[in-house]
Amino acid sequence: MRRVLMVAYHFPPLAGSSGIQRTLRFVQQLPQHGWEPIVLTANPLAYEQTSSDLLSEVPTNIPVHRAWALNTSKHLAIGGRYLARMARPDRWVSWRLAAVPLGMHLIRKYRPDVIWSTYPIATAHLIGAQLAARSGIPWVADFRDPMAQSGYPADPETWKQFKQIETEAVSRAAHSVFTTPGAADEYRRRYPNHADKIAVIENGYDESSFSGASNTCAALEPGKFTLLHSGIVYPSERDPRPMFAALGRLKREGVMTADHWSIRFRASDNDAMLSELAHKHDITDLIQLLPPIRYREALGEMLSADGLLVLQGRGCNAQIPAKAYEYIRARRPILALADPAGDTAGLLRNAGVQTLAALEDEHAVEGALRQFSELLRNGNASVASDMVAQSHSRESRTLELARLFDQIVG
């Protein structure tokens, strides 16, 4: 059994991020393919929210080591203010201080064959790079999504640090991994001398979680069609304003009314914004804003919904929300409000999604809502086939990662 040291901030008991699933499922499934994980993560003190619901899914025989870390905005602020440099490249940069010494101790103890670190917490790549430099062990930088982008991060100094981190990672890592073809292509263009070291391992869904989720949620809205958005609604990247404006017009026309429709936002993290928009367009009776629930309960809710809603802005064309794969596995009709030229739209189109419109195009969104409501009423809305759904399982992604590790160590 070969070993991999996995550096990941997103790990149970952290709550509120779908990013946990990628690392957790790799940890569960890599041993089936000859790789034993050793996890180096942050202590729960650094997490903004915690939940015990996924802790039981961490295999008891897998070593999990939690390095001291603080959240700058939570623990180092005075009167809600803190020095910007104390939160660069992110608010968990203190994690590096304890994680590198602990990581070196784990390297001496377990002698891993590969080091793997995963973004979107940039500090994880700083830790991975330093451990690889000190030990000489091959390093895989799991970017997931692009780092330094046009206008992101907004702070120029943070952007410079992101750029430095990604340049070092792509240059020094044995492989850099992205979750979408668009992101990988973008980095091959940015770093043509390292294009042969850039790989794609997409996100996916966990079948065992779905197996335990089928009966966890009661009927959502008897007598109504329920359209569900599960997860965070970002004000810019998943801007809901065009959709709410379109819903306002459709309500006035009697196409989508509260007698027959409910639009449910679960764990949006921006309920105040959504509530304000609902009042503005007089659709408060159409909109439900609901708090987070346990992961398997959230999957059960997807399985019970009449329709599932994807919001993805044009600025994220090289990204795919992790829940898109869970939506496909739920085999419920999907309304995709995403740029037709982006990776999210491509994934869903290949899964058989019929109704798709650019999130920013208010009139196109209105047309998509009309079409989707008609398909549901007539019982003609399509769902992904079993074969398509199975191709996006976490098991298949873990096999891809194990093969990448095998290739690196020979």
Walk along the chain (410 residues) in steps of 10 and give the mean pLDDT of each run. 97 88 96 98 94 93 97 90 91 97 98 97 98 98 94 93 97 97 96 97 92 66 93 93 98 96 96 98 98 90 96 94 94 97 96 96 98 95 92 95 97
Check residue 103 and give its pLDDT: 98
Q: Fill in the DSSP letter of residue 87.
A: G
Euclidean distance between CA atoms 118 and 278, whole angstroms: 37
Euclidean distance between CA atoms 174 and 155, whole angstroms: 30
Euclidean distance between CA atoms 298 and 328, whole angstroms: 14
End-to-end CA distance of the chain: 14
Contacts with 91 (C-beta within 8 Å, 6 or more apart), sequence order: 71, 72, 73, 74
Euclidean distance between CA atoms 238 and 257, whole angstroms: 24
Q: Which amino acid, 356?
A: L
Q: Let me know: does 19 contact 120? Beta carbons within 8 Å.
A: yes
Helices (H), 173-255: 181-190, 207-211, 241-252
The count of other CB atoms within 10 Å of the CB of residue 375 is 17
Task: With 0.75 as the threshold, say if the pTM is over it.
Answer: yes
Find, among 123, 129, 156, 154, the residue nearest to 141 by Cα.
Answer: 129
CA dihedral 343, 345, 346, 349 (to 10 degrees): 160
CA 398 to chain centre: 16
Find, among 322, 90, 332, 79, the residue nearest to 227 by Cα.
Answer: 332
Q: Let me know: does 88 contact 148? Beta carbons within 8 Å.
A: no
Residues in the chain: 410
Token digits of residue 220: 């959502």
Q: What angle do CA 39, 42, 44 make, to 5 degrees?
A: 120
